[in-house]
Structure 1
């Protein structure tokens, strides 16, 4: 039995898999187009995407906006009919400009988290781009949707629910993550219930995607059976040939053991999940004062930040791992090889279809 497609308004993804946005530069145009060409939704991360631009150090904001345009154009050239999205963190200081560039370059969807994207409907007004908030509870979903409708008469086109097993920045307090009481299985029904009430009230279908710790096709089927319309996956796609990061970064996933994956406190102020490497140990021992501030985050003060998160993430994508912050999902230690996106998608779909009928 084939998996049901993901329908987002007038968009139809034949495969209900959204590739998670991974910054800095981990998910760029190569990864996004490969996923889109296999029938899923390919997502470029907008966070400091201009790191390769020649003027990035001196003109960061313009470099990022220019780079997201380039990435979207390259992805579209390689996947003319695929669905391409951009993940933009609410916490970044060039948020408005990045959204505008995505609209102008005709991205299909903007997925936005690391804070509540309260102003996103206003920024996309008049365009056909789809918008999707990332939430981590039914309460956050309700707040978000009510605010959007009251202020802008706009409903989300998709809601992504990110559980506590995700990689990178997490929308949970440290106590919630360490207690183990919060699970994606518990959160998903709450969010679906909230979304359903708005669907019925306003007669609009709003699909819900489950994210965080989803690793196998069996996991995908599990959440589809729970009522999710899709899943979002990051970790599996980081260890693909098409992932835009250096081979050393990908091998860090392959070589990681379960004991290496830790919850850390990010300079953003949110807890995050990463590989505990030399850099993390050094940052825990003493402050690594930033040499330069990129003014990338709205709430980051270079005078007291424990380290420069931009520099640490740029080091990761470039393969300079001893000076890098390597964000991973909780199941990264299960990655045992680097594979092509096509092979990964086929494996996931085959497993999911078998589990979906049982």
Structure 2
């Protein structure tokens, strides 16, 4: 699943996949550091249009974004984007960031350009200086962004596409189509749609680029699932079969699957998972496709056990999210490490926080959007809108709504008031967590929202009495005992 490096070494199927966490947390620096060790480094492909625009408005101080853009195959498209967003020396820190087009069924050319360029830049920079594999992680729920985002990553030579938060049944075909620079179409789920009515988002590379680029390699698809049943469903047919799976337990950071059966909450308000939520690893192995286990897997013993169970290895997120190459705001990362050392860092799985309806992990760090008082002071803006849900209006047109938007707006659009209770704006909070939060004209600053997995047992051996560690340290720690066990 990887190719030989310049010295002729073939890394083979990676034992470790670095999780594609959050918005910009799994950035190009982290993915490059992991891929340089021969393991699969992964960038998050979510909201890269907004991150590109805001990095350019901050002046691109190290020049890396503009350097990557110089390699894009259509200079005219790059020039338009730089003219619109680049500010030499950066904008006044009291001025809001210029907005980017929000996603919709009717594609906005400028928005598509930003999505293509943002994904190209992130993957291009992640792949520089080594021959290890690089992947990009998307949420299946954000269907409106997928075709343009995937195409940008493919133009930069991405090796793997990872996709969760839904069943990516149409993605194998999408990858085939885009690899040939052909017009693509992807189905979009629309709530309250008339029975039998189909909605799609379309993307045509020829409409975007002045000339057809050189052929690109089709990346491999890894579907992120929560059970062997879902994996078997995807593997049953050539049109839906991915190239492998990441099977994720509820311990993993970010979103997790709902518990099977009736929802029960613990005394802390967390969803209660039971035996039915376990993963049948023997059944996963019987599918005959490589798979990796995720959620609470950061240790050499876990890697060895995964491989003994037939897995190719493990996916690890939280340990990489807290390492020094992480895209998290440096001050926030240091605060989390400082609280985690004495065991005082609290991560809870909340049933009603995410606008998606899936449980979502929140780090309860004072001053962040996990704090009820902090969030209560936040105006309910919805100006990024990646998690908005398309719905069909009574007049047949398609609208967009989000439980985290102003309550009156959500109710006017036919939403249920109970959906709004406790719902957090993940889009703005996660962007703020990587230091690119919106600045409002009245001086308001978006508070960050942080997510991690709930297993932090890896920190003492990784920290070793120090106060920091690297991505390479995580890889070495994971491979230590497991390499000996499988020598």
Per the shorter chain, which TM-score range? Answer: 0.7 to 0.9
- Assess, with a 3 A threshold, how the Cα gap between structure 1 residues 212 and 182 changes in structure 2: closer, same or farther: farther
Q: TM-score, normalised by structure 2?
A: 0.63
Which residue matches 2:440? none
Q: How does 1:37-56 map to 2 (within 5 A)?
A: 37-50=36-49, 51-53=51-53, 54=57, 55=85
By relative contact order (CA 8 Å, sep 6+), the higher-ranking structure is: 1
Which residue matches 2:450? 326
Which residue matches 2:470? 340
Q: Aligned-pair distance for 1:253?
A: 3.5
Which residue matches 2:307? 224
Asked if 1:250 corresponds to 2:380, the answer is no
Question: Equivalent of 2:100, from 58, 61, 83?
Answer: 58
- Cα displacement string for residues 276-316 of structure 1 (whole angstroms, at most 9, x for unaligned residues): 23422317985944324213125252344533211110111
Asked if 1:235 corresponds to 2:352, the answer is no
Tell me if the contact between 1:13 and 1:40 (Cα under 8 Å) persists in the aligned partners: no
Which residue matches 1:23? 22
Q: Aligned-pair distance for 1:216?
A: 1.0
Q: Aligned-pair distance for 1:252?
A: 4.0
Q: Aligned-pair distance for 1:185?
A: 6.2
Greater Rg over alpha carbons, structure: 2
Q: Find the residue that maps to 1:274 and give its secondary structure.
A: strand
Which residue matches 1:75? 126
Tell me if the contact between 1:136 and 1:171 (Cα under 8 Å) persists in the aligned partners: yes
Question: Equivalent of 2:274, from 181, 193, 214?
Answer: 181
Which residue matches 2:231? 141
- Assess, with a 3 A threshold, how the Cα gap between structure 1 residues 347 and 293 changes in structure 2: closer, same or farther: same
Q: Find the residue that maps to 2:224 and give its secondary structure.
A: strand
Q: Aligned-pair distance for 1:352?
A: 2.0
Which residue matches 1:95? 146
Distance 1:284 1:235 in 2: 24
Q: Which runs of 5+ in 1 are unaligned?
A: 1-6, 200-205
Which residue matches 1:215? 298
Segment of structure 1 superposing worse, 136-145 or 317-326: 317-326
Q: Find the residue that maps to 1:214 and give its secondary structure.
A: coil
Distance 1:52 1:331 in 2: 32
Tell me if the contact between 1:91 and 1:298 (Cα under 8 Å) persists in the aligned partners: no
Tell me if the contact between 1:240 and 1:339 (Cα under 8 Å) persists in the aligned partners: yes
Q: TM-score, normalised by structure 1?
A: 0.83
Tell me if the contact between 1:241 and 1:339 (Cα under 8 Å) persists in the aligned partners: yes
Tell me if the contact between 2:428 and 2:446 (Cα under 8 Å) persists in the aligned partners: no
Distance 1:86 1:219 in 2: 24
- Cα displacement string for residues 110-139 of structure 1 (whole angstroms, at most 9, x for unaligned residues): 000011112101211153210111110111
Distance 1:115 1:258 in 2: 33
Q: Find the residue that maps to 1:124 and give its secondary structure.
A: helix
Distance 1:37 1:9 in 2: 13
Computed over aligned residues only, the root mean square deviation of the Cα atoms, in angstroms, reads: 2.9
Q: Aligned-pair distance for 1:346?
A: 1.5
- Cα displacement string for residues 62-111 of structure 1 (whole angstroms, at most 9, x for unaligned residues): 434321111111112233x1100000111123112111222222200100
Which residue matches 1:162? 248
Asked if 1:275 corresponds to 2:358, the answer is no
- Assess, with a 3 A threshold, how the Cα gap between structure 1 residues 259 and 101 changes in structure 2: closer, same or farther: closer
- Assess, with a 3 A threshold, how the Cα gap between structure 1 residues 293 and 186 changes in structure 2: closer, same or farther: same
Equivalenced residue count is 336
Q: Which runs of 5+ in 2 are unaligned?
A: 5-9, 58-84, 86-97, 103-110, 180-217, 390-400, 408-419, 438-444
